[in-house]
Structure 1
Amino acid sequence: MTKPIEFKAGSLTAMSAIVRELDNVKLSDTLHTMLGGLGEFFAGEATIIDLSQLAKAPERADWPGLLSLLRRYGLQPVAVRHTPEHLEDSARKAGLAVLAADAGKMSAERPAEPKPAATPTAPQAALDLTPPTGGAPTMIIERPLRSGQQVYARGGDVVILGGVSNGAEVIADGSIHCYGPLRGRALAGAQGNTQARIITTSFAPELVSIAGVYRTFERGLPPNLAGKAAHAVLRADRNGQHSLNIDALKLD
């Protein structure tokens, strides 16, 4: 007889949101800078709030406000870990599971210093809500990024040799170099680096962003750019306001 419910051991691949300050105003500003204010960016990914690097624990935490902020960008918070003891009860009341500090099986965090030639097989980028503190090696992705996959080059550039599919996401604190079709979403200068650039041999993205200044292409790509080698860069006017310029590149 088939049972109406059954339990089996399993694992959950989840985004880690590394939160160093429980100040929702500062977190909102940081997310806006990183993601250009684009709502639903993460498309419903399960998320664990990681407080292991919390600078100073407040007496109270506005969990509902934090959950609402993360959900605004398409994250689905399910748990919190490394939680200060006096904040555990309020986290549970907000609907979060409080994990033990070593409950790492539920998370698929990217190492702080990614190894070159590492290609994720599922969304695995850790969302770090603080600026980089030093240089990082260039991340090199040798295979194509498929729909639903995501990489984050924290503190440096990313080089993609095989292209980016629709529905995939590339985020870098530095520049993005794509030597194949660039589809999906590409966000360079994620921590506010206005000198970052996006360079590709075949321009066909859903969205490009540099330091929070972004462009989308719901109405189609400009004919002079579609499928062509292109270069995206920020340019400042006399008032210091940045605009995102995308120009075709001549490779011959």
Structure 2
Amino acid sequence: MQNSLTRKPIEIKISTVVAVAVLLHEASVSVLETALKEMTAGSPDFFDDEFAVIDVEAIADTLVDWNALLPLFRQHGLHPVAVRHARETDHALIRSHGLSIDVVSKPRLETELRPPEAPAPVVAAPVEPQIIIRNNPAMVVDTPVRAGQRIYARGADLIITAAVNNGAEVIADGSIHIYAPLRGRALAGATGNTGARIFALTMEPELVSIAGIYRTFENGFPPLQPNHPVQVRLNGDSIEVSSLKSVA
């Protein structure tokens, strides 16, 4: 009885929720349906119930048929939770569909941050350039990542010393280092870091992604030099997979 009286009926805690960004360049539902079918190759679990933030910046001035669009995404395993870059006049309509408005903060210029009455800054004498090295944090995982598990290193690199199995998903805002086989999904640079990379001793992944650009391997993994670690990185707008050769 004492426990039931002291227990709170509801608790709110900070939780990490990962959502994919869906960038719309077309508003036509039929065009988007065709594109999704091509992207998923008919696989019903390609997105595996992912939360999705819909970015409408490219079609902000176009009327979106939310009644048709939202069911289309759900049919393909995407669950829209928010809309980004929508016009303010559309916010009420978007909220009426149970979606949130994802506000993207834009950095302000230094002149915007300075009060209008502030005097002009004094220009100091030239000094020697400095090299500043920032210590990027890393999350370390020492146990196998099993099917159905999802690990997200927010604002950090992700280091895994055990296998990432089929059906598992590992995500990092920085790079991903796996000192074991990678057989599940690996998504580096989750917040847009195009310089992020994925490293693994053995690569047999279902999907790899860097800064939102992804690649799957339904037709098999590209032939690489045996007994060498593998790295995945961006080369322009394409995913490049290569062996890491030791340097003598």
Output the TM-score relative to the length of structure 1. 0.50
In the alignment, which residue of structure 2 is the partner of 1:220?
220
Say whether residues 1:230 and 2:211 are aligned partners. Answer: no
In the alignment, which residue of structure 1 is the partner of 2:158?
158
The equivalences for 1:95-110 within 5 A come to: none
In the alignment, which residue of structure 2 is the partner of 1:168?
168
What percent of counterpart residues are identical? 44
2-structure distance, mates of 1:154, 1:172 = 6
In the alignment, which residue of structure 1 is the partner of 2:205?
205
The equivalences for 1:134-145 within 5 A come to: 137-145=137-145
Contact kept, 8 Å, 1:162 with 1:179, in 2: the verdict is yes
Contact kept, 8 Å, 2:46 with 2:77, in 1: the verdict is yes
Give deviations 1:191-217, integer Å, cap 9, x for gaps: 221111111111111222222333222
Residues paired across the two proteins, number? 176
Say whether residues 1:246 and 2:236 are aligned partners. Answer: no
1-structure distance, mates of 2:93, 2:246 = 57
Contact kept, 8 Å, 1:182 with 1:203, in 2: the verdict is yes
In the alignment, which residue of structure 1 is the partner of 2:111?
none
In the alignment, which residue of structure 2 is the partner of 1:43?
48
User: Deviating runs (4+, > 6 A) in structure 1?
Assistant: 86-89, 128-131
By relative contact order (CA 8 Å, sep 6+), the higher-ranking structure is: 1
Give deviations 1:22-80, integer Å, cap 9, x for gaps: x9859x9xxxxxxxx965554136x699xxxxxxxxxxx98646744753662346x99
3-state secondary structure, aligned to 1:174: coil
Say whether residues 1:75 and 2:75 are aligned partners. Answer: no
Contact kept, 8 Å, 1:213 with 1:244, in 2: the verdict is no
3-state secondary structure, aligned to 2:190: coil
The amino acid that maps onto 1:74 is: G
Structure 2: give runs of 5+ residues left out of the alignment.
Answer: 1-14, 28-37, 54-63, 83-91, 108-134
Structure 1: give runs of 5+ residues left out of the alignment.
Answer: 1-13, 29-36, 50-60, 81-85, 99-127
Q: 1:137 to 1:218 in 2, by over 3 A?
A: same
Contact kept, 8 Å, 1:203 with 1:228, in 2: the verdict is no
Contact kept, 8 Å, 2:215 with 2:239, in 1: the verdict is no
The equivalences for 1:185-196 within 5 A come to: 185-196=185-196
Q: 1:17 to 1:228 in 2, by over 3 A?
A: closer
Q: 1:17 to 1:203 in 2, by over 3 A?
A: closer
2:96 to 83, 90, 93: 90
3-state secondary structure, aligned to 1:193: coil
The structure whose Rg is larger is 2
Contact kept, 8 Å, 2:230 with 2:241, in 1: the verdict is no
3-state secondary structure, aligned to 1:152: strand
